[in-house]
Amino acid sequence: MKTSLQMALCLNLSRQRKLALKAMAVAATMWLLPVNSSIAATGNESTVEDGSVFGQYLAGRFARSIGDTTSASRYYSQVLKRDPDNSDILTRAFLLMLADGRIEDATILAHKIAEVSQRSSLASQVIAVERIAGGDYVGAVDLLRKASRSRMNALIVPLVEAWAQVGVGEGDESLRTLDFLKKKKGYTLFRTYHTALINDFLDRAEQAESAYLETIKAQEGGSLRVVEAYGIFLERKGRHEDAVNLYRGFLEREPDNILILTALARAGSKEPVTPLLAEAKDGVAEAFYGIAGGLLQENARDSALIYARLALALKPDMPVALTLVGGIMEGDERFESANELYTRIEKGSPYGWNAQLRMASNLDEMDQLPAAVKLLRRLEKERPDRIDPLVELGDIFRSREKYKASADAYDRAIRRLGDLHEQHWTLLYSRAIAYERSNEWSKAEPDFLQALYLKPEQPLVLNYLGYSWIDRGEHLERARKMVEKAVELRPTDGYIVDSLGWALYCLGEYDGAVKQLERAVSLRPEDPIINDHLGDALWRVGRELEASFQWRRALALEPEPDTVPKIKEKILKGLAPIVKRSTSELPEGGDGN
């Protein structure tokens, strides 16, 4: 039986990897009304056309609340057909069409909104995108000069207008337009980065490099996108050695980044490189992508999705925007929609590699394990120099409690690496868990120790190894110090605090166990195993009524089925008296961590 801490530890790193791969956090949905979710989620036209206007309105709101912008936009479109003068529905349908990528339909509504009110800045921006996509940069500039520059528009409008001016041929004027961003300190990076891009596009090398370096300095080394842009600039100018040094500097922070590793190889061999931006509208797409990324960091998920969609409206094959939208789809558990986006990314590119890894993860989320495994096996063969398909495979098997298969995948990854460095502690830790869960402690223990050697005082490793030793009655003094250190390093992690409490329980220090387990329950009140542990500790210190309450609470929290009979028996009979034991034996009670 896997306890709460074991589940948390087993899943923790695979979740971290997925989050790192996604490179973003996704906010919660906006609305929730108690209507039939099966109706809202269908999204087919026949369903949408049936029912009352109010019913479709409610269904649209519910579909939006669960992140299904496709169904929601269709429901609102039908409501709008029946009530075309409803400004609220017009606005909602407009926003949902944008979020769903139905840019042409949204543009039609943008013109209707603009006819009614000149105050809708987003409608103006969508019309400007329409003009820019059609090559009418002059018309876009005329429109944007009249647009509001309040709030977020103080960033968005100058960026788009500046690139539209580039399209017109007004390079100097475009840079003066960017100076508007000096009014707000928070817009500095947008100003310097796009100053670099515009000068680069206009082949003003000295000014471009100065702005690139200013951006990188402000970012303390440069973000992935800025380093990519500056590196391409250096390569195009024939400064391959400078590009190599730039890429190597980034790899000191992210040694396994496939995009920069690919760029490093390209720069080293002096292969030709394609400019980041081919035409002025690509600059607008880059601006929208940057805005979307910034909004997503602020958890403004809905707005981020809209601006990423506008970027794709101008540059449909833009891999970073496709990745961003795909990540938002994953956050809404729309894994199939995410994978449809990822298939649009060129497979042979670094972005395509990451997209395929995410597709495998999404196939697993959709309970299509064979398809996920098949894809990862193919990637494993395609790139014998990469470990990420094997790591993802190990994570998937581990999350499904296929521990021997998981350990095998991690083992193949480690053999590919050869020399292990600090960042590889996670891989050793993952394999150690897989071995431990497979009852192969003789293999697990060395991996835990080596992970700790590579990353001393890593709280997850300290906790897992320390508790395992206590559970086995080995190295008790050292093990206790390790678990205590883990709690010191992660004092608000309820699972680790529970581990210390249960370790004290196993050592017979019941008063200390109660103290730690009460704190663990306050941190993780919803966890049935932690509540069960507290019940055991309370019983041992004579607080039997409170113990019974905790066991009942644990039962109400729906623990794993194999623990239910044990908890019920404790509610009926309590715990048996402790029999004198050796140090290698554990007292009777719940299952440990």
Answer yes or no: is pLDDT of 216 > 50.
yes
Three-point CA angle 520, 525, 530, nearest 5°: 55
Position 514 scores a pLDDT of 97
Mean pLDDT for the chain overall:
86
Q: Please provide the distance, in angstroms rounded to a whole number, between the alpha carbons at the two ends of the chain.
A: 10
How much is the average pLDDT of 269-274? 95
Answer yes or no: is pLDDT of 21 > 90.
no
pLDDT tier for residue 12 given thresholds of 50, 70 and 90: very low
Answer yes or no: is pLDDT of 58 > 60.
no
Tell me the CA distances in angstroms from 308 to 101, 325, 346, 591, one per residue in order. Answer: 9, 7, 18, 48
C-alpha 190/C-alpha 21 separation (Å) is 24
Position 67 scores a pLDDT of 60
Highest mean pLDDT among 138-152, 274-288, 572-586: 274-288
C-alpha 61/C-alpha 56 separation (Å) is 9
Position 149 scores a pLDDT of 84
Position 96 scores a pLDDT of 84
pLDDT tier for residue 348 given thresholds of 50, 70 and 90: confident
| Percent of the chain as helix, strand, coil, to the nearest 5 | 75, 0, 25
**Coil vs helix vs strand at 523:** helix
Position 319 scores a pLDDT of 96
Position 113 scores a pLDDT of 87
Lowest-pLDDT range of 46-60, 176-190, 201-215, 302-316: 46-60
Answer whether 550's CB lies under 8 Å from 577's CB: no
Considering only residues 583 and 284, tell me which one the structure prediction assigns the higher pLDDT. Answer: 284
pLDDT tier for residue 69 given thresholds of 50, 70 and 90: low
Position 586 scores a pLDDT of 45
How much is the average pLDDT of 326-336? 94
Position 71 scores a pLDDT of 67
Which of 541, 554, 487, 498 has its CA nearest to residue 522?
A: 498
Lowest-pLDDT range of 201-210, 260-269, 573-582: 573-582
How much is the average pLDDT of 319-344? 95
The model's pTM is 0.81
Percent of the chain at pLDDT > 70 equals: 82
Answer whether 173's CB lies under 8 Å from 165's CB: yes
Lowest-pLDDT range of 72-86, 206-220, 291-305, 545-559: 72-86
Answer yes or no: is pLDDT of 472 > 50.
yes
CA atoms lying within 13 Å on the CB side of residue 140: 28
Position 43 scores a pLDDT of 37
Position 119 scores a pLDDT of 60
Position 8 scores a pLDDT of 45
Lowest-pLDDT range of 30-39, 121-130, 289-298, 566-575: 30-39
The secondary structure of 320-369 as a DSSP string is HHHHHHHHHHHHTT-HHHHHHHHTTS-TTSHHHHHHHHHHHHHHHHTT-H
Answer yes or no: is pLDDT of 585 > 70.
no
Answer yes or no: is pLDDT of 324 > 70.
yes
Position 60 scores a pLDDT of 54
Position 24 scores a pLDDT of 29
Per-residue pLDDT reduced to its tens digit, 423-469? 999 999 999 999 999 999 999 999 999 999 999 999 999 999 999 99
Position 405 scores a pLDDT of 97
Return the domain boundaries, the chain. Answer: 457-593
Position 61 scores a pLDDT of 54
Per-residue pLDDT reduced to its tens digit, 361-409? 999 999 999 999 999 999 999 999 999 999 999 999 999 999 999 999 9
Question: CATH homologous superfamily for 457-593?
Answer: Tetratricopeptide repeat domain (1.25.40.10)
Answer yes or no: is pLDDT of 288 > 60.
yes
Give the tokens for residue 242. 């400078």
